[in-house]
Structure 1
Amino acid sequence: MIQLEQPPSHQTKLTTLGKNKFQFKALFIATIIVTTWVISLSLLLSLDISKLTFWMLLPSILWQTFLYTGLFITSHDAMHGVVFPQNTKINHFIGTLTLSLYGLLPYKKLLKKHWIHHHNPASQIDPDFHNGKHKNFFAWYFHFMKGYWSWGQIIALTILYHFNNHVLHIPTANLTSFWVIPSLLSSFQLFYFGTFLPHSEPIGGYIEPHHSQTINRPIWWSFITCYHFGYHEEHHEYPHVPWWQLPEIYKTK
């Protein structure tokens, strides 16, 4: 059975208020993200890609990348128990579903590692942190990904790709442009805004207790870049607050 972390005492009042005020809003937002991803991907996979100009293709890829990131952010909220706090089973089901759609990622494994990260941020036992050697972006990214990917997932995704291509007759160009590339770009986006920028050690060492820092940007830009994942110190301080409420905490600071 999957266990959820309980909010610390200083967060209880805020968390309870959020649950009462937005009882079904988080579930509604999660449903919108998943539904939009499914509809968008279905439409894009059915397009005649040869008729798209580069300036039509690029926004389509970026749009689908944004939706892929939304899937992961939804699963991340599920790990914190805030997608549907009224029912743990439904909450974890949504987390499992969105991670499966994102890239057949194992929810229980990520849930365990994510809470290790929260309890020990930017430390030797933090699964998201570099190993002391791979500190630049790409080295840290590949070190990070090694901890979450397995050959089983890669083989399963390869089989799924060829099934869609040869059995469902979805063109290779469409699968590559709207299924493969957006998921890869999304992984870079999530790593850059959710790990590399906020957890890179600043000159002079860490100041905040969570060894993280907020990326100061306007709320609209914060949403576009990574669903407010850049408000990272706020997230670590209030991990049981959903992504769409982080701007409220950011503004109070």
Structure 2
Amino acid sequence: MARAAPALTPARQRRVGLALAAAIIGGWLALHVWGVFPHRWSAIDVLRAPLLIALQAWLSTGLFIVAHDAIHGSLAPHRPRLNAAVGQLCVGLYAGFRFARLAASHQRHHEAPGTADDPDFHAADPRAFTPWLRAFFLRHFGWIEFATVTAVLALYLALGARASNLIAFWGLPAILSALQLFTVGTWLPHRQGADAFADRHRTRSLRWPWLLSLLACYHFGRHHEHHLWPQVPWWRLPAVDAAGARH
């Protein structure tokens, strides 16, 4: 039988969730500002830069995961305005997204996962990586997001940011993060395969070791559990056991 993790009080879940969100947002902002503006390239960056780029990509993924919890109200239970405010901050920093639009799209995903009505599913080719990725990107990154990112890029250049810094500490992490979120959070859990899905949620979980699960996508690979219990925040998903679940 499926079982959810023991419930936390809303206040405790809110405290832990907001503390983790603050760490992710603060870490992303600190590395972003340092990398875009004061950083100067030197020989040590042969070793340092790849590690920092990977870290910033992981923190960028964290921004989206925090916003995802906010969409479900699991970031700050019973505080819808706080969820919306933190969620908008995160997706705004991530790529100029609009929280309300993403929330509506994600709701449709949960209502009809793995079907033609699912905005995160590529019904035309439900197994192929590249066509699905292209459709996913074009569906979620529209002209408003493009204009916002372009305006920020122009501002950064006007303030003296170097192109190499922008590519390394903003562009590359954003691309790597998008690939991470799509691959681990969408394609692997929802793509059709030889094995049948367990239930109407049409998803599977990636049962990786705890550390790998955290690094891969903040445990979002435990996707079946998320669909069964969307009120469970990302940091509690490993405590959920959905083996053999039918829902």
If the length of structure 1 is used for normalisation, what is the TM-score?
0.89
Q: Partner of 1:162 in structure 2?
A: 154
Contact 1:49 1:173 in 2 (8 A): no
Task: State the Cα distance separating 1:18 from its structure 2 match.
Answer: 4.6
Structure 1 residue 192: deviation in Å? 0.1
Give me the identity figure in percent: 31
The one-letter amino acid paired with 1:193 is: V
Partner in structure 2 of residue 127 of structure 1: 119
Matched, 1:110 2:107: no
Q: Tell me, what secondary structure is at the counterpart of 1:49? A: coil
For 1:193, which of 178, 181, 184 is the aligned residue?
184
Structure 2 vs 1, CA of residues 62 and 47 (structure 1 numbering), >3 Å: closer, same or farther? same
Task: Write the mapping of 1:1-253 to structure 2, written as runs, cut at 5 A.
Answer: 17-45=8-36, 46-133=38-125, 135-165=127-157, 167-250=158-241
Counterpart amino acid of residue 221 in structure 2 = G
Contact 2:224 2:242 in 1 (8 A): no
Structure 1's unaligned 5+ residue stretches are 1-9
Pairwise CA distance, 1:90:
1.1
The amino acid that maps onto 1:105 is F
SS in 1 for 2:140: coil
C-alpha displacement at 1:27, in angstroms? Answer: 1.1
Q: SS state of the match for residue 196, structure 1?
A: helix
Identify the range of structure 1 (136-145 vs 20-29) with the bigger mean alpha-carbon deviation.
20-29
Q: Which moved more, 1:225-234 or 1:32-41?
A: 32-41
C-alpha spacing 1:204/1:91, structure 2 compared with 1 (3 Å): closer
Q: Give structure 2 stretches of 5+ with no counterpart.
A: none
Partner Cα distance (2:138, 2:9) in 1 = 36
How many angstroms apart in 2 are the aligned matches of 1:143 and 1:236?
22
Contact 2:127 2:192 in 1 (8 A): no
- Tell me whether 204-213 or 122-131 shows the greater mean CA deviation: 204-213
Aligned residues: 241
Letter in 2 for 1:232: H
Measure how far apart 1:54 and its partner are: 2.8
Deviations 1:214-245 (A, max 9, x none): 00111111001110011000000000000000
Q: Higher relative CO (CA 8 A, sep ≥ 6), structure 1 or 2?
A: 2
Note the C-alpha offset of 1:88: 1.2
One-letter identity of the residue aligned with 1:201: Q
Separation (CA, whole Å) in 1 of partners of 2:172 and 2:48: 15
Question: Aligned-residue CA RMSD in angstroms?
Answer: 2.0
Question: Cα offset for 1:250?
Answer: 3.6
Give the letter for the 1:242 counterpart: P
Q: 1:31 Cα shift?
A: 1.1
Deviation at 1:251, TM superposition (A): 8.3
Answer yes or no: is the 8 Å Cα contact 2:225–2:242 preserved in 1.
Answer: no
1:203–1:18: structure 2 CA closer, same or farther, 3 Å change rule? Answer: farther
